[in-house]
Amino acid sequence: MRVLSALVVAAAAALVALPAAAASRTVTLDVPGMACPLCPITVRKALEKVPGVEKAEVSFERKEAIVTFDDTKTDVGALLDATKNAGYPSSLKSGPPKQ
Ligand SMILES: [Cu+2]
């Protein structure tokens, strides 16, 4: 049974290592509700809290958020929920179409 558990451990380690090779995806979200230069900080923090988000850049001037994420860990819906829950409803502006 020792050999078997070693195999299980190896398989689990391979699964953990796998997401590193996943494709990241970048989308732009329209965030029209940002009213002052501090709003983007709240939006960015909310997006960065979503597991799988690698980078979030939020522009107050352009009222948009550019988010790079691992699409095996999260999706656009989760990003939209995150900004909405932070008080800033958003919509998908550009990026590859939803699957
Ligand atoms: Cu503000």
Q: How far is the CA of 75 from the centre of ligand 1 (A)?
A: 26
Signed CA dihedral, 50, 55, 61, 62: sign only: negative
Q: Give 20-23's long-range contacts (Cβ < 8 A, gap of 24+).
A: 22/70, 22/71, 22/72, 22/73, 23/70, 23/71, 23/72
Per-domain residue ranges for the chain? 22-94
What CATH number does domain 22-94 carry, 3.90.1150.10, 3.60.150.10, 3.30.70.100, 3.20.20.70? 3.30.70.100
Q: How far is the CA of 48 from the centre of ligand 1 (A)?
A: 18
Return d(Cα 71, Cα 84) in angstroms, integer. Answer: 20
Q: How far is the CA of 43 from the centre of ligand 1 (A)?
A: 10
pTM of the model: 0.73
User: How does pLDDT run across 21-62, given as a tens digit for each residue?
Assistant: 678 999 999 999 999 999 999 999 999 999 999 999 999 999
Q: How far is the CA of 17 from the centre of ligand 1 (A)?
A: 39
